[in-house]
Structures are given as C-alpha cells and as structure tokens.
Amino acid sequence: MATTVLSSPQIGTGPARRALRLANIMKEIALLPENLLRMPSVGLVNQWYERSFEEIIQFEKVDPEPDVLSKFCERLVHIRNRHADVVPTMAQGVLELKESHEVDAVTEHSIQYFLDRFYMSRISIRMLINQHTLLFGETLGKQASVNGIGNGGRHIGSIDPACDVVGVVRDAYENAKFLCDRYYLDSPDLELMQHGVPSGRPMPIVYVPSHLYHMLFELFKNAMRAVMEHCEGSPPPVQVNLVQGQEDICVKISDRGGGIPRSVTDLLFKYMYSTAPQPSKSDSQNVPLAGYGYGLPISRLYARYFHGDLVLLSCEGYGTDAVIYMKALTNEANELLPVFNKTSSKFYRPTAQLADWSGGVHNLNTPNRDKEK
C-alpha cells in the first residue's frame, strides 16, 4: 500500500500521474447524461477540473528545481482547496436534475455508475495530493510526517503503518455521541469487544486513519439516530465487534434501532435517493444527526479504495449491523482505481434490460436487484 501512494519527489512523475487521473475522469464527465451535464452545478465542477488540469500540465515540462518544487506544492494546495466542495456541488447538480426533469431508470443507473467512479477518482487524487504536500511540502509537512511529530514518528504522509483501530473507533464514537447528546439529550453507550487479539490491546493496521474515521463516524451517526428514534426509555448500547482475521479485519457496528426493510438497504447507497438539500448554516446548532448527503455511499468507496468493503445487514423490527472490512495484508490493500476505456464508455449508453425472471418488474429501478459488482 505504501509504495503505491507515495509520490516521487521528482516532479516528472507527480504531475504526470495527477494529470492522467484528471484526464481520465474528465473524459467520463463528458459522457454524463446530457441533462445532468447541463445543470449549472455540474458545469461549475467541470470548470474546476479543466482549470486544475491546465495548471498541472504546466509543470510537466519544467525542470524540477527546488523553486519549482515548492511552487508545485503551493499549486497543489490551491487545487485541493478549489475542489473542497465538489461533493455538495455535485449533489446540488443531481438535485437540480431531479427538480427539472423526470429521471428514467437508465439515466439513474448511469449517474450511480458515474458518481461511484468520480468520487473514487477524487479520493485517489486527494490521496496523491496529500501524500505529496505532506512529504515534500515546506515547513509543517516535513517535520510532522517525516520526522514524525505527534504520532510517534511513524506516519508516511497520511498513512499510519500502525493505525490504532480501537483508538479511531473510540474517537468516532465520542464525536458522534457529542452530536447525538446535543440533538436528543441522550445517547447510547458503546460496548466494544475485540476478537483475534487480546482485549485491551491495540489492533494496529496499515491504514489512512482519516478514511477509517470518516467511515466510522458516519456509521455511528446512523446507528445512534436509529436507536434514539426507536427506543422508549433508556437507549440500548451500540455494540462494536473488532475482529482480527487472517485475511480481513472487520469492524461490526450493531444497533438495536429498529432496523430498516430490506428494500431500503440498497437505496441508502444510491446517490439519487440520498440527495437531500443541505441544512442551512443557520441551522448548524441543531442539525439532525444524519440522513442527508452522501455519507454512506462515499464511506463505502473509502472502504473499497483499499480493497475492503462496507455492508449493511438489517433485521427490520430489531436493528442493523454495519460491517467495515479492511484487508489484513497490506500487499492486498493497494489502490482500486477507475480506469477509462471502451468498457466504461459503454456503461453510459446502456440498453434497457428486459426481465428474465418472472414475478415483478425487474428493471434497473428494482431496489433488490443483485448488485452489479
């Protein structure tokens, strides 16, 4: 894992790699359903990509002198900031589409396919930018990530070769609990159990702590909200099982929040369904715990980025298990990237599928249709 995401200090490879990934996803943007491409927010995102691409390729031809290297770092930081709001802006674009057009099943499928690849590409590009700026940036970067201030000196950019899963779980729980207490004036306790390593010992893995935190925080918020909305009297605890296996490391978060019907489980990962208007800034003191935005689909992409996964398993009437799988072996945990080729372009002009099973309309809209992956 470490080797795939380390940018070379030579300027030749850094810009080339980023430019290639930018070019790949820009070709896919061009294939988006026309209706979506015409939405103002999507146009804005497209402009950001065009501008960043132009800025990056400027660096391809110049010699990697120290002055150029630091200019390159500055440019990367600038680009990272420019793209900070890509996710809510694309979500806005999808809302604009829903409000202005009837969206058919084929279009919806294309949008799901595109956004999964688009956000995965974004995760990978931001990972490259973070690695480069942390490892080769001026001031802070050098000391914090190479000589290692604050984390025992072990970080390699944003990668922690001994990421403390237990610590990240507790941290994510505490922060979700804070929001939960503020909104519901109470919150479920955490019951943490470890398997495969002695209890109370850390369970270190090679991982990007911020990615793991992002997934756990999202799942805790969902679990807590379900529990608080469902329970009468004192809320039952959220149980977390942490398991070190040979092949996988699993984090299972179990809530007794009443569960969700099977037909809804897949919808929670669909961008077209999970798009809701952003709560306004003035509401920020009293935002609901979760339930807007792209938290779950994007968390699953974080898991899949290093060949793990995130799945939901619910028993309607009782509660939900959410499992994060991570690869235990780092040589299997390399990047999973979208590549653009003839296969991917075909997905944007899919032919409507005819049902080959009886008993209902099995078109692309059927929630329980088997996953394509």
Binding residues (CB under 6 A) for ligand W6P: these are: 219, 222-223, 226, 255, 257, 259-260, 312, 320, 322
DSSP 235: P
Q: Which of 177, 221, 270, 327 is catalytic?
A: 221
Q: Please indicate whether residue 327 is annotated as part of the active site.
A: no
314: tokens are 């619910």
Q: Cα separation of 226 and 273, whole Å? A: 18
Shortest gap between Cβ of 356 and ligand W6P (angstroms)? 31
C-beta closer to ligand W6P: residue 259 or 297: 259
CB of 112 to ligand W6P, least distance (A): 18
* Residue 180 vs 333, nearer CB to ligand W6P: 180
DSSP string, 289-353: SS-STTHHHHHHHHHHHTT-EEEEEEETTTEEEEEEEEESSGGG--------SHHHHHTTSPPPP
Catalytic status, residue 177: no
Find the catalytic residue in 83, 214, 252, 270.
Answer: 214
146 phi and psi angles, rounded to 5 deg? -95, -50
Burial class (CB in 10 A: 0-12, 13-18, 19+), 7: buried
Specify the residue, 53 or 183, whose C-beta has the smaller distance to ligand W6P. 183
Distance (Å) of CA 61 to CA 55, 68, 122: 12, 11, 25
Q: Tell me the closest approach of the beta carbon of residue 167 to ligand W6P, in angstroms.
A: 21
Catalytic residue among 218, 252, 270, 327: 218
Q: How far apart are CA 72 and CA 61, in angstroms?
A: 12
Strand bridging mode 190-195 / 238-244 = parallel
Rounded Cα distance, 256 and 323, in Å: 15
Residue 175 annotated in active site: no
Q: Residue of minimal CB distance from ligand W6P?
A: 226
Which residue lies nearer to ligand W6P by CB, 145 or 222? 222
Q: Which amino acid is at 333?
A: A
Query: Rounded to whole angstroms, how far apart are CA atoms 37 and 84?
Result: 20
Residue 331 annotated to the active site: no
Structure token pair of residue 2? 């470490």
Least distance to ligand W6P from the beta carbon of 249, Å?
19
Residue 157 or 295: the one with the smaller Cβ distance to ligand W6P is: 295
Q: How far is the CB of 311 from ligand W6P (least distance, A)?
A: 10
Inter-residue contact 45 to 89 (CB < 8 Å)? yes
- Looking at the Cβ atoms of 129 and 301, the one nearer to ligand W6P is 301
Q: Minimum distance from CB of 266 to ligand W6P (Å)?
A: 12
The catalytic residue positions are 214, 218, 221-222
